Amino acid sequence: MPDDPQQTVLQRKLVAAPTSGARVAMSPARALEQGVARAAQDELGLEVALKTLTEGPIGLEDLAGKGDDNALRALLTGPEGRVGLMVVSGALMGAILEQRMTGGLRGAGAPPRPPTRIDVEIGRDLIDRILREFAALMEPVGGGDWARGFRFETTVLDPRLLRFALGDLGYNGFEATLDMGAGVRQGDFFLALPETGGPDAEGALGKTGWSAALRNTVMGAEMPVDAVFARLTLPLAAVSDWKPGDMLPLPRHTLDGVQLEGANRVVLATGRLGQARGDKAIRINLQGADLPPLLTDR
C-alpha cells in the first residue's frame, strides 16, 4: 500500500485479505484478526470476518469513551499486575448470545440491552479464547511481550470508573468492526493492552489489590434504586380523565412480586411488601435474582 500523508497509524485499516499464496509478515493487527476468527469459529461455530481494523497508541483519557450504552466492558489482568480493557458493543454481544443459544444468526436480531451476569459468563470464554489466540500469534513477533498472559477478570458498568482501574500509561489500541455469519450481522469491539515498561507499568493500583481498591472507591457512590410494584399500559384517554380518588387495578401478585430496579430497569433483586418498625418495607429475596453489580468478580 503506498504511503498516504493523510493516513496516520491510528487510521490504518485492514479491509482485504492478502493475495492468495503470498507470505505476509505477522503484525499485531493481523494476529488479532486471525485470533478473533479462530476463537469465534472454535467457541461458537460462527464465521467471522474483519471488516475494518484501526490500530495505534491510545491514552487513558480516551478509553472511557469507547463503547455504546449497552456495551460489555471487560477489565483484563495480565502479568505484573498490568490491566487492559476489552469493550464489546451491544450489537456484537447480542450476536454472540444468539449464536450460543440458538446455533445461528437470523435477521437483525433482538434490540441491544445492557449485559446481565449470565451474558457476561457466556461472553467470558470467548474473550479469554481471543486473548490466548492473540498472544500465541504474537509469540514470534519481536517486541510482542505486551500481548501475553491476559485474561478476563471483571466487568465495569460505568465507564467513568475505568480511570480507577487502569494505569495512566500508554496502551496499544485496536478498534474493529466484525462481519458475522457471512454478512448477517455486524458488531464492534475495542481492545487496549498496556505497553510494557514505563513508570506505571504495573497498573494504577500495583500488582495486588487493584480490584479491592476499586470496590472501596465506588461503594460510597450513590445509586438510585426504584421499587416497582407493577407497570400498567393504559390508553391516553383513560389517563387524561384521571381525578383524585380514582382506583387503578393491580395484579393479584403485586405485593409479593416487588422488583428493585437500578439504571436502565436492570433488576437488582425481588421481594415482597411488608412492615418494619411501623414503616413500609420490602423483604428482599436474592435467590434467583440476576444481580449485575458495578463490578462482577470472576
| Span 72-117, pLDDT tens digits | 999 999 988 889 999 999 999 999 989 988 888 887 778 888 888 8
Res 22: pLDDT? 45
Q: How confident is the model at residue 21 (pLDDT cuts 50, 70, 90)?
A: very low
- pTM value is 0.62
Q: How confident is the model at residue 203 (pLDDT cuts 50, 70, 90)?
A: very low
Asked if residue 158 has pLDDT above 90, the reply is no
Q: Round to whole Å and give the CA distance between 126 and 191.
A: 14
Q: Round to whole Å and give the CA distance between 263 and 114.
A: 10
Say what percent of the chain tops pLDDT 90. 27
Average pLDDT on 120-147 reads 90
Asked if residue 170 has pLDDT above 50, the reply is yes
Asked if residue 273 has pLDDT above 90, the reply is no
Asked if residue 18 has pLDDT above 50, the reply is no
Res 191: pLDDT? 96
Which residue blocks in 157-230 are alpha helix, DSSP H? 162-165, 210-218
Q: Helix axis angle, 90-102 relative to 28-44, nearest 10°?
A: 30
Res 25: pLDDT? 66
Res 219: pLDDT? 52
- Computed over every residue of the chain, the mean pLDDT equals 78
Q: How confident is the model at residue 193 (pLDDT cuts 50, 70, 90)?
A: very high
Give the CA distances from residue 258 to residues 198, 230, 248, 271, 287, in Å, rounded to whole numbers and listed in that order: 51, 8, 17, 5, 14
Question: Does residue 67 contact residue 156 with C-beta atoms inside 8 Å?
Answer: no
Q: Round to whole Å and give the CA distance between 10 and 3.
A: 14
Q: Round to whole Å and give the CA distance between 231 and 3.
A: 60
Res 136: pLDDT? 94
